[in-house]
């Protein structure tokens, strides 16, 4: 069953440079991840998101105003580890079917409060090319068009606007597509991350 959803994500990526699956994460797993995120938020464990990596990290709320919490198997959270299991299965499928050479991944929760946004950007760092693919899974049930907060992906003559509705997962090359998060009018939650390849020395 999961391989079917993996194939939907990959096939739509090959066709449009943006893979979209409506059922990559189950509702059950999405709901548990959302509850984890809200618990972390209530416990004040989220941090202001920045731009750049640890070597060149900048915080500028005029560019990006969400809050994040990095996922790690060491936290030993049942549902976050279930998420990692699924991502690792997807990586194996991607490597087998597309020879992608992915060797690692990193993910964080992301929470946008009302009025938050993320201006146009690429996901791959200028000083580190390890991020190969971006993958975002949304956790927002009953999202309405009037809530805004869409992911806007810019392509020549083909801008694509994707609502952050629970169940939707988006997949694209980290170094190719400029994208942004439009101003949200409701609390917006996701698990956002990158599939990585070892850097050539």
Query: Which tokens in the block code for residue 190?
Result: 């996701």
Q: What is the CATH number of domain 2-50+63-196?
A: 2.60.120.620
CB of 33 closer than 8 Å to CB of 80: yes
What residue segments make up the domains of the chain, in order of their start?
2-50+63-196
**CA 162 to chain CA centroid, nearest Å:** 13
Question: How far apart are alpha carbons 55 and 24 in whole angstroms?
Answer: 33
The confidence score (pLDDT) of residue 201 equals 45
54-110 pLDDT, tens digit each? 555 566 677 889 999 999 999 999 999 999 999 999 999 999 999 999 999 999 999
Question: How confident is the chain (201 residues) per 10-residue block, as mean pLDDT?
Answer: 88 95 95 98 92 59 89 97 97 96 97 96 80 97 95 89 95 94 97 88 45
Angle at Cα 65 formed by Cα 153 and Cα 193, nearest 5°?
Answer: 55
């Amino acid at each position: 069953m999961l391989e079917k959803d993996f194939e939907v994500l990959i096939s739509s990526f090959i066709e449009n440079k943006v893979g979209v699956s409506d059922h990559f994460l189950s509702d059950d797993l999405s709901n548990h991840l959302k509850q984890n995120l809200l618990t972390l938020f209530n416990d004040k464990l989220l941090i202001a998101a920045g731009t750049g990596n640890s070597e060149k990290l900048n915080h500028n709320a005029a560019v990006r105003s969400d809050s994040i919490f990095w996922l790690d198997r060491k936290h030993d959270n049942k549902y976050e580890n279930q998420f990692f299991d699924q991502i690792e299965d997807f990586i194996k499928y991607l490597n087998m079917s597309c020879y992608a050479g992915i060797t690692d991944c990193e993910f964080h929760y992301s929470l946008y409060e009302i009025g938050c946004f993320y201006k146009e950007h690429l996901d791959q760092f200028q000083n580190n090319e390890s991020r190969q693919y971006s993958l975002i899974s949304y956790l927002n049930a009953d999202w309405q068009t009037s809530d805004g907060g869409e992911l806007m992906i810019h392509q020549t003559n083909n801008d694509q606007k994707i609502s952050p509705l629970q169940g939707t997962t988006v997949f694209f090359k980290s170094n190719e597509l400029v994208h942004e998060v439009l101003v949200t009018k409701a609390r917006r939650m996701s698990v956002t991350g990158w599939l990585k390849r070892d850097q050539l020395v």
